[in-house]
Amino acid sequence: LSLHGVAGLIPVPLGNSHPSSQCEMSPSSLFAIKGTVAHLKCRTYAVTGTPVVAETLNGKKTENTEHSCDDAHPPIIDHDHLLIMAEVTDAYVHQSYWDDKKLLFRPLSQDVPPYLTFFGSQTFGYVTSGNNDNTL
């Protein structure tokens, strides 16, 4: 991690895939990551299992590296995951990944790279355009 987030990841305005020199982003701006083909804007209601980043000891902040959750409140899932309750309020999909006719999120041609998806339980896959006639 760097001072401003994860090193190497470039923030872009939400709904765009490339940074714009015309659009100044403030530290409080909503943003997506350059190169992603879909962005979700969400209203967060709760984050459960929040890792403890720092503790206050005699008025001074100290890093807490012994555990990620308060001992009195163990994590809901495990020490590496958070449970987030949120509502999607807006969504953006790059035009080469949105099928208007079928209302599907998928690459529209074989020239468009596949995207990574998560099936759950440590299983990942990727979505391709399918066959040449653009049907599922």
Query: 69 or 16: whose pLDDT is higher?
Result: 16
State pLDDT tens for residues 2-12.
445 677 888 88
Are 117 and 125 in contact, with CB atoms under 8 Å apart? yes
pLDDT of amino acid 83: 86
- Dihedral, CA of residue 83, residue 86, residue 88 and residue 93, to nearest 10: -30
Of 116 and 16, more confident = 116
Q: How confident is the model at residue 129 (pLDDT cuts 50, 70, 90)?
A: confident
The reported pTM is 0.61
Instruction: Tell me the C-alpha to C-alpha distance, in Å, between residue 5 and each of 2, 31, 33, 113.
Output: 5, 12, 11, 26
**4 or 123: which leads in pLDDT:** 123
- What is the per-residue pLDDT across 59-93, written as a single tens digit (0 to 9) for each? 555 544 444 444 556 667 777 778 889 999 999 99
Within 17-132, residue ranges assigned H as helices are none
Cβ within 8 Å of residue 93, ≥6 positions away: 37, 38, 105
